[in-house]
Amino acid sequence: MPKLDLDAIERTDRTGYPQPYAAAMGKRLYRKLAGPAGLADFGVSHVLLQPGGISSQRHWHEGEDEFLVMLEGEAVLVEDEGETMLRPGDCAAFPKGVANGHHLVNRSARDCVFVCVGKPAVTDCHYPDIDMHLDAVTGRFTHKDGSAYVAAASPLSSASPAASASTSASASASTTRASASTEGASSAAAGDSSSAAGAISPGSALGS
């Protein structure tokens, strides 16, 4: 049936970011809905952002559109032009190729929930505030000068806020690739490497 049972879909805090940038993603939990729903043309992430959490590192995609709908709570959309409060029912769109880094920050005292829509990232993703770049050719996160990270965090996976705060062992950057999906939401808003499959984590929408 069209209605999805969210409780039956894995919720994770996984990220493809290398350290130290992975550490900031522990308060973002998301479910990738496209696969369980049988969708193939685009990805969807259902994202829960705990107080103090960010949807992704601030980012923008060269070739992937992102779209976000706030469902519960509130979060601040941070972009080059400034800050905008998003509340239930508010929508935000991030056209591909627009060099305007964006992410959500939960500065409130309660969780917020949003959905982000996008597609798997197949073009470069830019992170204006930090020394990180997603190279579309290799599918790896690198320094902005193209050099590899010495070590990167292994993906985290949890079903509870407490578990999501834990960190994982390091793995060689030569084997670290951007995680596919969302991260996006990030994206949704979730900006890892995957699109909203993205938070603005995963997916392009998450910027993973």
Domain CATH for 41: 2.60.120.10
pLDDT digits (tens, 9 = 90+) for 45-85: 999 999 999 999 999 999 999 999 999 999 999 999 999 99
Determine the structural domain holding residue 67 and report its residue range.
26-158+170-175
Domain total for the chain?
A: 1
In a domain, 18, yes or no: no
- Phi, psi (deg, nearest 5) at residue 38: 80, 20
Token match 């939960």: residue?
106
pTM for the whole structure:
0.78
pLDDT digits (tens, 9 = 90+) for 27-51: 999 999 999 999 999 999 999 999 9
User: In which band, very low, low, confident or very high, does the pLDDT at 206 lie, cut at 50, 70 and 90?
Assistant: low
Q: How many helices and strands (H and E) does the chain possess?
A: 2, 14
- pLDDT on residue 151: 63
In a domain, 129, yes or no: yes
- pLDDT on residue 116: 97
In a domain, 21, yes or no: no
Query: What rounded mean pLDDT belongs to the chain?
Result: 80
| Secondary structure (DSSP) of 88-99 | TT-EEEE-TT--
